[in-house]
Amino acid sequence: MELYRLTASELSEKIKNKECSSVEATQAIFDRIEKTEDKVNAYISLSKESALKKAQEIDEKIASGETLSDLAGIPVGIKDNIVTKDMLTTCASKMLYNFVPPYNATVMDKLEKCGIVVVGKLNMDEFAMGSSTENSYYKKTKNPNDLTRVPGGSSGGSAAAVSAGEAFLTLGSDTGGSIRQPASYCGVIGLKPTYGSVSRYGLVAFASSLDQIGPIGRSVKDVAMLYSEICGRDDKDATTAVREYPNFAKNLNGSVKGMTIGIPKEYFGDGVDAKVKESVMDAVKVLENAGATVKHISLPSTDYALSAYYIISSAEASSNLARFDGVKYGYRAENYESLTDMYERTRSEGFGDEVKRRIMLGTFVLSSGYYDAYYKRAKLLQQQISAEFAQAFSECDLIITPTAPTSAFKLGENIDDPLKMYASDICTVTVNIAGLPAVSVPCGNDDNGMPIGMQMIGPKFSEQKLLDTAFSYEQLMGGSIVKIAEL
Amino acid sequence: MEYEVIVGLEVHAELSTATKIYCSCKNSFGSEVNSNCCPICTGMPGTLPSLNKKVVEYAVKMGHALNCKINNVCKMDRKNYFYPDLPKAYQISQFDIPLCENGYVDIILDESGATKRIGVTRIHIEEDAGKLLHDDSFAGSLVDFNRCGVPLIEIVSEPDMRGSKEAKAYLDSIKAILQYIDISDCKMQEGSIRCDINVSVRPVGSDVFGTRVEMKNVNTFSGAVRAIEYEAKRQIEVIENGGTISQETRRWDDLQGQNFLLRSKEDAHDYRYFPEPDLLTIHVPEEEVDAIKKSIPELPNAKILRYMHDYKLPHYDSNLLAENMEKSAFFEQCIEFNKVQPKNISNWILGDISRIFNEKNISFADTKITAKNLVDMIEMVEKSEISNTGAKTVLEEIMFNDISARQVVEEKGLAQISDNSALEALVKEVLASNEKAVNDYKNGKTNVVGFLVGQCMRASKGKGNPAILKEIVVSMIESM
Specify if A64 maps to a domain.
yes
CA distances from A264 to A195, A287, A427, A449, B15 (A): 22, 16, 11, 26, 53
Query: Residue A64's pLDDT is what?
Result: 94
What is the complex's ipTM, to 2 decimals? 0.96
Instruction: Give the Å distances, CA to CA, from B414 to A393, B194, B199, B408, B462.
Output: 92, 52, 60, 8, 8
Question: How far away is chain A from the Cα of B81, in angstroms, using its nearest Cα?
Answer: 8
Distance CA A267, CA A288 (A): 19
**pLDDT given at position B212:** 95
Query: Is the distance from CB of B301 to CB of B107 less than 8 angstroms?
Result: yes
Angle between helices B420-432 and B435-442 (to 10 degrees): 100
Res. A265: pLDDT tops 90: yes
Q: What pLDDT score was predicted for residue B355?
A: 95
3-state secondary structure of B288: helix
pLDDT value of position B449: 87
Confidence check: pLDDT of A47 > 80: yes
Residues of A with CB under 8 A from a CB of B: 81-83, 89, 91, 96, 99, 101-103, 105, 200-205, 207-209, 235-239, 315-316, 318-319, 322-325, 327-329, 339, 343, 363, 366-368, 371, 375
Is residue A326 very low, low, confident or very high in pLDDT (cuts 50, 70, 90)? very high
B interface test, pick of A78, A81, A97, A103 with most B CB neighbours within 10 Å: A103
Total number of domains constituting chain A? 1
Cα distance between residue B88 and residue B218, in whole Å:
25
Whole-angstrom Cα distance, residue A252 to residue A229?
15
Q: How far apart are CA B333 and CA B420, in angstroms?
A: 37
SS3 of residue B82 by DSSP: coil
Residue A259 has pLDDT above 90, yes or no: yes
Q: What is the pLDDT of residue A479?
A: 93
Name every chain B residue with its beta carbon within 8 A of the beta carbon of A91.
45
| pLDDT 10s digits, B25-78 | 999 998 999 999 999 999 999 999 999 999 999 999 999 999 999 999 999 999
pLDDT tens digit string along A287-309? 999 999 999 999 999 999 999 99
List alpha helices for A169-214, DSSP H. Answer: 180-186
Helix (H, G, I), strand (E, B) or coil at A6: coil
Q: Which residue type is seen at B78? A: R
Q: Count CB atoms within 10 A of the CB of residue A154.
A: 35
Q: For B303-365, give the DSSP string.
A: HHHHHHHHS---HHHHHHHHH-HHHHHHHHHHHHT--S-HHHHHHHIIIIIHHHHHHHT--GG
pLDDT band at A134 (very low <50, low <70, confident <90, very high): very high
Q: What pLDDT, on the 0 to 100 scale, is given for residue B255? A: 92
Closest alpha carbon to B460 in B424, B417, B413: B417
What is the reported pLDDT for A422?
Answer: 85
What local confidence, expressed as pLDDT, does residue B410 receive? 87
- CATH number of the domain that A248 lies in? 3.90.1300.10
A347 is a domain residue: no
The answer to whether residue A178 is catalytic is yes
Residue in B84, B270, B280 closest to A368 by CB: B270
Alpha-carbon distances, residue A161 vs A332, A372, A467, B190, B304 (angstroms): 32, 43, 22, 54, 74
Helix orientation angle between A463-476 and A220-230, rounded to the nearest 10 degrees = 160
Chain B nearest C-alpha distance from A317 (Å)? 11
- For the segment B271-285, what is each residue's pLDDT rounded down to a tens digit? 999 999 999 999 999
Q: What CA–CA distance (Å, rounded) separates A305 from A334?
A: 41
CB A242 within 8 A of CB A202: no
Q: What mean pLDDT is predicted for residues B173-198?
A: 92
Say if residue B438's pLDDT is above 90: no
Q: Is there a cis peptide before residue A21, judged by omega within 30 degrees of 0?
A: no
Q: Under the phi-then-psi rule, with left for phi > 0, alpha for psi from -120 to 50, and beta for the rest, what region is A330?
A: left
User: A277-286, B37-46, B425-434: which range is least confident on average?
Assistant: B425-434
pLDDT at B469 (0 to 100): 84
A443-to-A226, A264, A405, A480 alpha-carbon distances in Å:
22, 18, 14, 11
The confidence score (pLDDT) of residue A416 equals 86
Q: Mean of the pLDDT values across residues B73-87?
A: 97
**Contact call for A201 and B47, based on CB within 8 A:** yes
Query: In B, which residues are within 8 Å of A318 by CB distance?
Result: 80, 272
> Cα A341 from chain centroid?
36
Residue A448 CA to residue A83 CA, distance in Å, equals 37
In a domain, A157, yes or no: yes
Whether the pLDDT of residue B422 is over 80: the answer is: no
Are A393 and A261 in contact by the 8 Å Cβ rule? The answer is no
Size of interface A-B (CB pairs under 8 A): 100
Catalytic one of A14, A79, A121, A221: A79
C-alpha to C-alpha distance for A390 and A402, rounded to whole angstroms: 20
Decide if A368 and B80 are in contact by the 8 Å CB cutoff.
no
pLDDT band for B362, please (50, 70, 90 cuts).
very high
What local confidence, expressed as pLDDT, does residue A421 receive? 83
Label residue A137 by pLDDT band (50, 70, 90): very high
Q: Is the separation of the CB atoms in A419 and A478 below 8 Å?
A: no
The model's confidence at residue A61, banded by pLDDT at 50, 70 and 90, is: very high
Q: Tell me, what's the pLDDT at B464?
A: 80
A332 class by beta-carbon count within 10 Å (0-12 exposed, 13-18 middle, 19+ buried): middle
* Burial classification of residue B265, based on how many CB atoms lie within 10 Å of its CB (0-12 exposed, 13-18 middle, 19 or more buried): exposed
In angstroms, the first-to-last Cα distance of chain A is 16
Neighbours of A277 (CB within 10 A): 17
Q: How confident is the model at residue B88 (pLDDT cuts 50, 70, 90)?
A: very high
Distance CA A418, CA A405 (A): 16
Whether residue A11 is contained in a domain is answered as yes
Rounded Cα–Cα distance for residues A41 and A143 (Å)? 9
| Percent with pLDDT over 70 in chain A | 100
- Domain assignment of residue A390, yes or no: no
Tell me which chain A residues have a C-beta less than 8 angstroms from the C-beta of B42.
328
Q: Which domain holds residue A115?
A: 3-258+409-422+438-476
Judge whether A96 lies within some domain: yes
| CB interface of B with A, residues 37-56, below 8 Å | 39, 42-51
Cα B417 to Cα B466: distance, rounded to the nearest angstrom: 9
State how far residue A404 is from chain B, nearest Cα, in angstroms. 27
- Give the torsion through C-alpha atoms of A70, A76, A78, A84, to 10 deg: 70
> How many whole angstroms separate alpha carbon B295 and alpha carbon B60?
11
Other C-beta atoms lying within 10 Å of the C-beta of residue A462: 19
Angle subtended by helix axes B163-180 and B221-240, to nearest 10: 150
B380-410 confidence digits (pLDDT tens): 999 888 888 889 999 999 999 999 999 998 8
Beta-strand ranges (E) seen in B115-238 are 115-127, 131-133, 142-144, 151-157, 161-162, 193-203, 213-218
In a domain, A315, yes or no: no
Q: Is B420 on the interface with A (CB under 8 A)?
A: no
CB atoms within 10 A of CB A419: 9
A12-16, A239-243, B158-162, B264-268: which range is least confident on average?
B264-268
Q: pLDDT by residue (tens digit) across B210-261?
A: 999 999 989 999 999 999 999 999 999 999 999 999 999 999 999 999 999 9
Radius of gyration of chain B (CA): 30
Q: Does the pLDDT value for residue A346 go beyond 80?
A: yes
The residue type of A438 is A
Q: Enumerate domains of chain B plus CATH numbers.
A: 3-292 (no CATH), 298-412 (no CATH), 420-478 (1.10.10.410)
Q: What is the pLDDT of residue A153?
A: 94
pLDDT band at residue B187, thresholds of 50, 70 and 90?
A: confident
A389 domain-assigned: no
CB proximity under 8 Å: B 61-100 to A = 78, 80, 82, 84, 87-90
A242 contact residues in B (CB cutoff 8 A): none
**Cross-chain residue pair A327–B48, CB shorter than 8 Å:** no
Instruction: Answer whether residue B86 shows pLDDT above 80.
Output: yes
Q: What is the b/e burial string over B230-246, where b = at least 16 CB atoms within 10 angstroms of the residue's CB?
A: bbbebbbeebeeeeebe
Query: Of the ranges B66-70, B85-89, B239-243, B429-433, which one carries the lowest mean pLDDT score?
Result: B429-433
Encode pLDDT of A66-108 as tens digits: 999 999 999 999 999 999 999 999 999 999 999 999 999 999 9
Q: What is the pLDDT of residue A418?
A: 83
B331 within 8 A of B374, measured Cβ to Cβ: no
Averaged pLDDT, A149-174: 98
DSSP A188: -
Q: Tell me which residue of A197, A288, A211 sits closest to A248, measured CA to CA.
A: A197
C-alpha to C-alpha distance for A222 and A162, rounded to whole angstroms: 11
Q: In this complex, which of B89, B272, B277 lies closest to A367 when CB atoms are compared? A: B272
Residue B459 has what pLDDT? Answer: 83
- pLDDT of residue B414 exceeding 90, the answer is no
For residues A89 and A136, is the Cβ–Cβ distance under 8 A?
no
Residue A245: CB atoms within 10 A of its CB come to 18
Instruction: Check residue B267 and give its pLDDT.
Output: 82
Mean pLDDT of chain B: 93
Q: How does strand B151-157 pair with strand A260-264?
A: unpaired
Cα–Cα distance for residue pair A94/A137, rounded to 1 Å: 6
Binary contact (B42, A363; C-beta < 8 A): no
Q: Distance from CA of residue B243 to its chain's centroid? A: 40
A215 in Cβ contact with B58 (< 8 Å): no
